[in-house]
Amino acid sequence: MDTVLLTAVLVCGLLTFVFILNTMRKLYMRAPRTSVRTLLITTLLSALTALLSLWQLVDVLGQFKISW
Amino acid sequence: MDALAALLGRVGVVASLLTALLLSAVLAANVAVLGLGYPPDTTLALFLQAAPVICLFLGNLATLIAFYGTYRILRRKDEYNVRDDLKGHAADLPGRTQGLPAQLARQLGCTGMLSATTLAASLVVTGLTLAPQPFRGLGVIAVGAGYQPARLGSTVLPTAPTPTPTPSRTPTPIPVVKFAVAPTQYTQDCNTRLQPNPQTITLDNTGSTRDVAWSVTMRESVGVSAQAPWAKPSQTQGVISAGQTAQITLTTGEVDCLVVPNNGTRDFHADFTLAGSRTVYTVTDTITGQTIIT
């Protein structure tokens, strides 16, 4: 379970970073129409990674017997 | 809405800076543990394992906010007019989009680059910290009840469970008091002026395992008013360490001969007692009275 969650976090984070670079490139290549779509995907990926990283944080804290 | 956007912008910058600071602290802690051999305790282990994930979350938050800002600029919610851009594209006038990079730079500054950089760094550090062995190169690994530094490529050999020591019954030594006085009896003669006088008494505490406090009293009194002790000790009380001996002297007064019957004897007693004990160690002095030939 730990490995699956970590893999999901890392894959989502990596995808987010790739989309960030892609979005930046498109923005600075002055292609705004395409940029809006990639921007939305990047934002969604970023939100998903943030949620997964929160889950991962709870998991790590649980290993130290810290819970809410 | 604009106020919310401004607030979010500030949160994004703070999140990026906080991520950078936390990542620096995590890397410093890793250098201390992995490089300098600082022993990780539970608090340090918790920081090493949890902080990269917190950085990843904050980095993502900063990215979200930065791209929300970019989205607002593109959707004309801020100053940049995307419609003009599209018209420019339709009219094959790419020159009309020339202002976008400058506008992004003016509105967002380096927030986008900063959040992207911290996000990438957080990803790498989180991956190296939480990856299973042998891919874990940062942080610590829980081994038994403690933690040991993680090293890339190394496998952790679980330590053998430490046998729980069975409490051994250590007998508490009972204090032994084995006290003695010597001699317990001696004689003096009024015909020879009570010589030898004074008499040496040895207090023997060599058989004891603890110190003893002693005191001595003269049982008989002599003199005109019968108030004076029959002998005068060199000291009336004292402490002798375990395993040691001490000596005192008893000096007999010649007045004792006045109360000893002629041609007879009389016993005089010196009683030694120890603190906390009722045992009395008695030294008896048998004094021979004057010899009268009738």
Using the Cβ of B97 and the Cβ atoms of chain A, whether some distance falls under 8 Å is answered with yes
> For position A34, what pLDDT does the model report?
60
Question: Tell me: the pLDDT tens digits for B231-244?
Answer: 999 998 999 988 89
**Residue pLDDT, tens place only, B172-181:** 777 788 889 9
What does the pLDDT read at residue B161?
57
pLDDT for position B94: 42
Q: What is the pLDDT of residue B141?
A: 80
Beta bridge partners of B286: B187, B267
Mean pLDDT, rounded, of chain A = 81
The pLDDT of residue B33 is: 85
Contact B64 A43 (CB under 8 A): yes
| Cβ contact, residue pair A46, B100, below 8 Å | no
Do B140 and A60 form a contact (C-beta atoms < 8 A)?
no
Measured between alpha carbons, how far is residue B177 from residues B205, B213, B237, B282 in Å? 8, 11, 17, 17
B60/A30 Cβ within 8 A: no
A49 Cβ under 8 Å from any chain B Cβ: yes
Determine which of A18-27, B102-111, B248-257, B284-293 has the lowest per-residue pLDDT on average.
B102-111
Per-residue pLDDT at B11 exceeds 80: yes
Does B202 score more than 70 pLDDT? yes
pLDDT attached to residue B226: 67
Q: What is the pLDDT of residue B143?
A: 73
Which candidate from B75, B86, B119 shows the least CB-CB separation from A17? B119
pLDDT at residue number B101: 58
**Least confident range of B1-15, B79-93, B110-124:** B79-93
Q: What is the pLDDT of residues B109-160, one digit of tens each?
A: 666 677 788 888 888 988 888 888 778 888 888 776 677 788 777 665 555 5
| pLDDT at residue B207 greater than cutoff 80 | yes
Q: How many C-beta atoms surround the C-beta of residue B131 within 10 A?
A: 19
Q: Measured between CB atoms, does B118 come within 8 Å of chain A?
A: no
DSSP calls for chain B: -HHHHHHHHHHHHHHHHHHHHHHHHHHHHHIIIIIS-PPP-HHHHHHHHHHHHHHHHHHHHHHHHHHHHHHHHHTTSSS--HHHHHHHHHTT-GGGGTHHHHHHHHHHTTHHHHHHHHHHHHHHHHHHHHSPTTS--SSEEEETTEEEE--TTPPPPPPPPPPPPPPP--PPPPP----EEE-SEEEEEGGGTT-S-SEEEEEE-TT-SS-EEEEEEES-EETTTT-EESEEES-SEEEE-TT-EEEEEEEEPGGGGGGSPTT-EEEEEEEEEETT---EEEEEEEEE------
In the structure encoding, which two tokens stand for residue B279, read together?
Answer: 């045992």
Please report which confidence band the pLDDT of residue B70 belongs to, taking 50, 70 and 90 as the band edges.
confident
Can you give the pLDDT at residue B163? 64
Q: Given this model, what pLDDT does residue A31 score?
A: 60
Per-residue pLDDT for B208 more than 80? Answer: yes
- Look over chain B and give the mean of its residue pLDDT values, rounded to a whole number: 80
* pLDDT confidence tier of residue B93, bands split at 50, 70 and 90: very low
The residue-averaged pLDDT of B201-213 equals 89
Sort out which chain B residues have CB atoms less than 8 A from A46's CB and list them: 60, 63-64, 67
pLDDT at B162: 60
